[in-house]
Structure 1
Amino acid sequence: MDIEPAKIKVLRHIRKEYACPCCEPYITVAKKSALPFEKSIVSLSLLAYVSVSKYLDALPLYRQVNLLTA
């Protein structure tokens, strides 16, 4: 997930598989993009937005959830 001011969008990363026709057992998958946390779907901009809203704007997390899901 990624966030822009007043707009939230979902980013879809497609990882393709590559294989040689003569070498069936050797299938290669493209590498994953770097994530701030393993097994998460957040982007760096979403983390920055939440941090700034919480610590600089003094907006509690429960109000941020209401803003993001509205």
Structure 2
Amino acid sequence: MRSTQARDALLKAVGRLPLELGELYALRTQGMSYVEMADVLGLPLGTVKSRMHQLVKQLREEMHP
């Protein structure tokens, strides 16, 4: 039961992400590396790394206020 609640909370938090972070989340859950994500999105690798850091930080804050 608890894992279902955690999954639901995560999905809600992901739904509140800005578009650019949501795209990264989707690509990462498909198993893409940072280099692959950068290539697909046409972004510098450093931008992908920075946005992934933002993504993790934002999800942590939403999951554990």
**TM-score, normalised by the number of residues in structure 1:** 0.29
Structure having the larger proportion of residues in helix: 2
Structure having the larger proportion of residues in strand: 1
**TM-score, normalised by the number of residues in structure 2:** 0.30
